[in-house]
Amino acid sequence: MPTLLLDKNAIQSLLKMSDVINVVEEAFRAWAEGRANMPPKAYLLVEHGDFRAMPATLPGCAGVKWVNSHPLNASHSLPTVMAVLIYNDPETGYPLAIMDGTLITAYRTGATTAVASKYLARQDSRTLGIVGTGCQAYTQILAHAELFELTSINAFDVSTAATDKLIRSLPGYPIRKCSLEDALSSDIVCTLTPCRSPIVKREWIVAGTHINAIGADAAGKEELEPSILKDALVVVDDVRQASLGGEINVPVTKGLFTVNEIYATLAEVLVGKKKGRIDDNVITIFDSTGVAIEDLAVAKLIFDKAQEIGSYPVIDLV
């Protein structure tokens, strides 16, 4: 039995954000209903970054993503995040495909936070704030534009060159360069920085704002002042991951926020175990650490499409 090989160009040609949003939302539903299995991601720390192993199963498929985070990679002309995904037959364990997971990671992260915004942001949300205009900003914009009629995308980065590049790369989207405070005054805010001390102040967040806190994805990272968490309805993708490496990890370690103060998981909201937005004035936060079911759901989508087309290279790996 051959193993399908899908490089970054193949992944690019097979990905469509609307499809990714649909399969990611369904994956969280499957998880909530006990139809998925996902142990915690394992971290391997090295001098200039870290690696993460992320296994999962969903109905009819299994797999693992091996992904890194190396913040200094720009000096090597490499992305900060790169990934490889192995997609297996759950019945036999056979590796059905090996695929580039870098773009999958970006797309599934954008899709997941857009799904969170769908349930947690105000229904009349029209403005999107982007704090940090690196690679992840692109898919956040693509995903949110699928679900919301955005009239303004307010982008801030300490690097004006990065913001200019974002604007040039997404022609036709209403992106404007602005201050940090202006970006945070948006209806929906996505924080996408590698900060290890808060850059988002409580006084800048107005009633009714929804925040997707995405940048904090490892122990010690933190973008929001802890007082924002105390005043908000906090939803996480995974309680354990969030408490160890998500936006809440530093406040939890310092005793400024507790796991018991988490309102719900995203999966609980999607299946109706917990209500999403409860009124137009509450501040909502989605603590996104990234979970393996997101990757596997997109890998299945990609594999199925590639099988239909049938023109991609294969190897006899086993």
Ranking 73-77, 172-176, 256-260, 287-291 by mean pLDDT, the lowest is: 73-77
In a shared domain, residues 137 and 210: yes
Region 128-148: mean pLDDT is 97
Q: How many domains does the chain have?
A: 2
- Is the same domain home to 144 and 211? yes
Asked whether residue 253 falls in the same domain as residue 184, the answer is yes
- For residues 169 and 24, give the distance between their C-alpha atoms in angstroms, rounded to a whole number: 25
HEC-encoded secondary structure of 69-131: ECCCHHHHCCCCCCEEEEEECCCCCCEEEEEECHHHHHHHHHHHHHHHHHHHCCCCCCEEEEE
Residues 210 and 254 in one domain: yes
| In a shared domain, residues 115 and 228 | yes
pLDDT (tens digit per residue) in 274-311 = 999 999 999 999 999 999 999 999 999 999 999 999 99
Which pLDDT does position 291 carry in this prediction?
A: 97
Same domain, yes or no: 42 and 128: no
Q: Are residues 128 and 82 in the same domain?
A: no
Give Cα separations from 274 to 77, 115, 136, 282 (angstroms): 44, 15, 28, 15
Is 305 one of the catalytic residues? no
Overall pTM surpassing 0.85 (yes/no): yes
At residue 173 the predicted structure's pLDDT band, cuts being 50, 70 and 90, is very high
Dmax (CA) of the chain: 59
Looking at the structure, tell me whether residues 199 and 81 fall in a common domain.
no
One domain for residues 202 and 286: yes
Catalytic residue among 8, 16, 41, 65: 65
User: Based on the domain organization, do 158 and 18 belong to the same domain?
Assistant: no
Q: In terms of Cα–Cα distance, which of 44, 36, 49 is closest to 78?
A: 49
The domain of 13 spans: 3-104+293-315
One domain, residues 115 and 239? yes
Mean pLDDT, residues 46-71 taken together: 96
Q: What is the mean pLDDT of residues 82-90?
A: 97
CATH at 64: 3.30.1780.10
- Do 283 and 310 sit in the same domain of this protein? no
The enclosing domain of 249 has a CATH number of 3.40.50.720
At 159 the three-state DSSP class reads: coil
Q: Are 237 and 289 in contact (CB under 8 A)?
A: yes
Q: Report the candidate in 36, 21, 23 with the shortest Cα–Cα distance to residue 303.
A: 23
